């Protein structure tokens, strides 16, 4: 299995569309702290074509309906701001804010997945899929993909220091 590789950046939000005539943007937060952007002066935008651009935040506000509106320096009209549509607004992984007892999705990438009872290595976490219920995408040593619901019934413990996710290996989940 591959060695654990941490991401270089974390997604905080994704730009949805332009708003109004002053270059403001509607963004969809990808964090449990939607106003995290207010604490920052710059973010990195990962644009649709894969290039990155460092942006200086001018304004961030949360509308009453839960919509986050952002304005970046140098983007003063809808035409220029449209360039940022669908961009991911990111921060360096090393600058991630961690609440006590919380684990970031990126923290589990590359962790070994082992059977909580027998200790057998079952695979490695390749991704976290966000749905109605978060799922760990685990790749077995044989290369098979297994989706493990990230709930207490399946994921028993996550030890970041040890680099291990201990799971309840229910019958049929990892068996062919």
CATH 3.30.230.70 fits 105-167, yes or no: no
Q: Is the pLDDT of residue 1 over 60?
A: no
pLDDT, tens digit (0-9, with 9 covering 90-100), for 45-58: 999 999 999 999 99
Within 10 angstroms of residue 86's Cβ, the number of other Cβ atoms is: 11
pLDDT at 3 over 60: no
Tens digits of per-residue pLDDT, 107-146?
899 999 999 998 899 999 998 888 788 999 999 999 999 9
What integer is the mean pLDDT of 142-159?
Answer: 93
Quote the CA–CA distance of 150 and 117 in Å, as a whole number.
18
Chain centre distance of CA 88 = 10
pLDDT of residue 4 exceeding 70, the answer is no
Q: Which part of the chain has CATH 2.40.30.60? A: 9-94
Cβ atoms of residues 122 and 169 within 8 Å: yes
- State which fold the 9-94 domain adopts: Elongation Factor Tu (Ef-tu); domain 3 (2.40.30)
Question: What is the average pLDDT score of the chain?
Answer: 89
Task: Answer yes or no: is pLDDT of 65 > 80.
Answer: no
Q: Where in the chain is the domain with CATH 2.30.30.240?
A: 105-167
């Amino acid at each position: 299995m591959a060695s654990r590789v941490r991401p270089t950046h974390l997604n905080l939000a994704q730009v949805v569309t332009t708003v109004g005539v002053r270059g403001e943007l509607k963004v969809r937060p990808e964090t449990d702290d939607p106003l995290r952007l207010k604490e920052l002066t710059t973010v990195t935008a990962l644009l649709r074509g894969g290039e990155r651009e460092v942006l200086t935040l001018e304004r961030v506000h949360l509308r009453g309906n839960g919509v986050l509106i952002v304005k970046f320096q140098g983007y003063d009209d809808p035409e220029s701001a449209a360039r940022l549509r669908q961009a991911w607004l990111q921060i360096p992984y090393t600058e991630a804010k961690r609440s006590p007892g919380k684990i970031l999705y990126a923290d589990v990438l590359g962790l070994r997945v082992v059977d909580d009872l027998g200790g057998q290595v079952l695979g490695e976490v390749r991704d976290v899929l966000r749905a109605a219920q978060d799922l760990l995408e685990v790749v077995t040593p044989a290369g098979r993909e297994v989706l493990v619901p990230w709930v207490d019934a399946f994921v028993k413990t996550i030890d970041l220091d040890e680099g291990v996710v201990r799971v309840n290996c229910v019958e049929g989940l990892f068996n062919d």
